[in-house]
Amino acid sequence: MSLIWLISVPVALYLFRKYRVFKWGRYTEQKTLKDKVFVVTGGSSGLGKETVKELASREATVVMACRDLQKAKAVIAEIRSKIKGGELIPMELDLASFDSIRYFSEEVKDKFSQIDVLINNAGVSIPRMADQNLKTKDGHEINFGTNHLGHFLLTNLLMEKLEQSAPSRIVIVSSKLHESGIIDFNNLQGEKGFPPGLRNPAYNNSKLANIYFCRELAKKLPNGVETYALCPGFCYTSLFRHSKFKWYQYLLFAPIAFIFMKSANQGCQTILYCALSDDVTGKSGKIFRDCKLYESPYKFDDSVQHKLWVISEHLTKLK
């Protein structure tokens, strides 16, 4: 009997995993992207790296916007050992620095006559520790400042070029964890601390801000420019490298990870879907997951959405 269990349990887990992989969806269209320009933030690791690889395989020109230029160049060499197509251009961008964002934006506008798709992928997940409270270079809470304000500023600075390149798209990588987020204007960046119980509520809040940004942006965009938010799924990347786990938590986590976690390539499929598929045209401001429309259970508030935009303009000194 014990032998049967030893065999049947792993087989059942394997089959369940295969079923989940089938449900995740893939973007399979291989249309050429020659003469199309993509800007991908965080393009040297995780979802961004896999997105860059997929775009290169379709002959795209890809601006890899990364903090570490040497790492980006090493990734390009790695990609080039397998994929010869497209053009990969590393450019320095630190989303935790408004000065860096402004400099990068000017460089991109000077060097490229068009931007067909902006993919706001980069992100951090840094829990607040008892002995530290990390900030961006402009003094904002690190998760909110990088994940939301950084991309908010970048998108607005590139907006004119995106409008000139229409039809064009803005893809915003959020997370299902937005459903646990809170936008509290009296505690927007955790000035009064965060509620206990969640591992990193600041990250969740920043992902909710991403969704609100997408929704409000869709209202403001001219014809020909659309924006989409997406949840890539629970992916095996370095995003949560700053989270501290105990050894027994890793042991407990392993079987769950096997069943539920996507690889980075599986996770980037919805990014590709939003960036490339004709199916999403006309669905600006919507959320996608597993290569299809996703209806979030979160109760969005249009007044919060508008106010967050106004405050973000002020914090980034756009107005």
By annotation, the residues acting in catalysis are 203
Nearest by Cα to 144 from 130, 123, 158, 171? 123
Task: Write phi, then psi, for 277 (nearest 5 degrees).
Answer: -75, 140
64/57 Cα distance (integer angstroms): 15
**Bridge-partner residues for 169, per DSSP?**
117, 226
Question: Where do we find the tokens 């539920």?
Answer: 260
197/186 Cα distance (integer angstroms): 20
Q: Can you tell me whether residue 46 is helix, strand or coil?
A: helix
16/120 Cα distance (integer angstroms): 32
Nearest by Cα to 146 from 159, 137, 133? 137
The residue type found at 21 is: V
**Bridge-partner residues for 235, per DSSP?**
262
**Those residues with Cβ within 8 angstroms of residue 142's Cβ, 6 or more apart along the chain or in another chain:** 96, 124, 126, 134, 135, 136, 202
The number of C-alpha atoms within 13 Å of 101 and in the hemisphere containing its C-beta is: 27
Token digits for 131?
């002995």
114 neighbors 100 (Cβ within 8 angstroms): no
**Those residues with Cβ within 8 angstroms of residue 287's Cβ, 6 or more apart along the chain or in another chain:** 174, 211, 214, 228, 229, 230, 231, 293, 294, 295, 296
Question: Where do we find the tokens 């409270």?
Answer: 133
